[in-house]
């Protein structure tokens, strides 16, 4: 009876589930774990715990929502499989584990028919999947836009959830565009200063070693212009504005 009550609590409370896995979630992580919407953007500094949070969510859904399809996407198959490994490492922390009926380096299926699959980064090879309940795109700012466009329709019928998470990589690509102008997204920004596990001394050393441009991007979550960009994003967008009168009117 006690075991059933505990399991029920874990199924309803992903934060309690995270604690069961040995994590005491930071407040933003708890918010993401408890969030009920369908679209979330995590613009978070390096090492703040994006992948861990997403891996906990993936595992929670796989265990407590039978027949779920969970897809892990990233700029390369190696990176997707890294995230998948995070999920399986977490699974191994559970004292009572759900049984797997299929298990390999890139995917697994549980007895309740839920599947977690790491996808390659080629748009052509992922088209077979549909009806995803959760898609997690890791290192989103470096995922090709064609791949992003190919995964979105997989949510059409299922009404599933989509999580994009990354540090910025310039003012370009779908991660920036969704962050800048996307509607219907819950947007979460967490700089390195907000992470209790990253020390001030480490950040000072990083700023000195990486230089300002990389540092602002990696630790302060800023979408900075590529260093070699001749015209800035605002300047180009300003040139497209209808409010700006042309210098020379057409005859």
Ligand X SMILES: Nc1ncnc2c1ncn2[C@@H]1O[C@H](COP(=O)(O)OP(=O)(O)OP(=O)(O)O)[C@@H](O)[C@H]1O
Binding site for ligand X (CB under 6 A): 23-26, 29, 44, 46-52, 197
Which of Mg ion, ligand X, none binds 105 (CB below 5-8 Å, type-dependent)? none
Q: Which stretch binds Mg ion (CB under 5 A): 46-54, 91-99, 102-110, 230-238?
A: 46-54
Distance of CA 183 to the CA centre of its chain: 17
Residue 240's SS3 state is coil
Note whether 189 and 221 are within 8 A (CB): yes
Residue closer to ligand X (CB basis): 50 or 115: 50
Could you tell me whether strands 39-44 and 186-190 are parallel, antiparallel, or unpaired per DSSP bridges?
parallel
Residue whose CB is nearest to Mg ion in the complex, by number:
51
| Closest residue to ligand X using C-beta atoms | 49
Using the rule CB under 5 A, is 166 a contact of Mg ion? no
| C-alpha to C-alpha distance for 21 and 95, rounded to whole angstroms | 9
Tell me which DSSP letter residue 125 carries. Answer: G
Judged by CB, which is closer to ligand X: 109, or 213? 213
In the complex, least distance from residue 162 CB atom to ligand X, rounded to whole angstroms: 17
Binding mask 2-41 for Mg ion (x = CB under 5 A): ----------------------------------------
Residues that contact Mg ion, how many (by CB under 5 A): 1
Closer of 64 and 121 to Mg ion (Cβ): 121
> Among ligand X, Mg ion, none, what does residue 118 contact (CB within 5–8 Å per kind)?
none
51 binds Mg ion (CB under 5 A): yes
CB 72 within 8 A of CB 138: yes
Nearer to Mg ion, 64 or 84 (CB): 84
Nearest approach in angstroms of CB 86 to ligand X is: 7
Picking from 148, 197, 209, the residue whose alpha carbon sits closest to that of residue 45 is 197
Q: How far is the CB of 23 from ligand X (least distance, A)?
A: 5
CA atoms within 13 A on the CB side of 165: 26
47 binds, among Mg ion, ligand X, none (CB under 5 to 8 A by kind): ligand X
What's the order of all strands across the beta sheet hosting 100-103? 100-103, 107-110, 115-118, 69-73, 134-138, 161-166, 39-44, 186-190
DSSP, collapsed to helix, strand or coil, labels residue 74 as coil
In angstroms, the CA 216 to CA 224 distance is 8
Strand partners, 166: 43
49 is in the binding site of which of Mg ion, ligand X, none (Cβ under 5 to 8 A by kind)? ligand X
Chain residues binding Mg ion by CB under 5 A are: 51
């Amino acid at each position: 009876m006690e075991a059933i009550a505990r399991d029920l609590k874990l199924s309803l409370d992903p934060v309690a589930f995270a604690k069961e896995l040995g994590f005491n979630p930071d407040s933003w992580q708890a918010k993401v774990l408890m969030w009920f919407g369908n679209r979330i953007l995590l613009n978070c500094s390096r090492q703040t715990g994006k992948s861990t949070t997403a891996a906990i969510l993936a595992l929670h859904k796989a265990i407590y929502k039978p027949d779920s399809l969970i897809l892990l996407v990233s700029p390369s198959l190696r990176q997707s499989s890294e995230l998948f490994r995070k999920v399986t490492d977490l699974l191994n922390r559970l004292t009572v584990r759900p049984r797997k009926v299929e298990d390999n380096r890139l995917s697994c299926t549980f007895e309740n028919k839920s599947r977690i699959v790491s996808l390659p980064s080629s748009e052509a090879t992922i088209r077979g999947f549909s009806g995803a309940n959760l898609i997690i795109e890791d290192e989103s700012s470096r995922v090709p836009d064609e791949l992003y466009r190919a995964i979105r329709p997989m949510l059409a019928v299922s009404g599933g959830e989509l999580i994009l998470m990354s540090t910025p990589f310039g003012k370009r690509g779908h991660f920036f565009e969704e962050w800048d102008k996307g509607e219907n997204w819950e947007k979460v920004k967490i700089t390195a200063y907000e992470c209790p596990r990253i020390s001030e001394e480490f950040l000072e050393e990083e700023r000195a070693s990486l230089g300002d441009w990389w540092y602002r991007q990696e630790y302060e979550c800023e979408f900075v212009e590529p260093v070699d960009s001749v015209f800035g994003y605002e300047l180009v967008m300003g040139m497209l504005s209808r409010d700006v009168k042309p210098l020379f009117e057409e005859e």
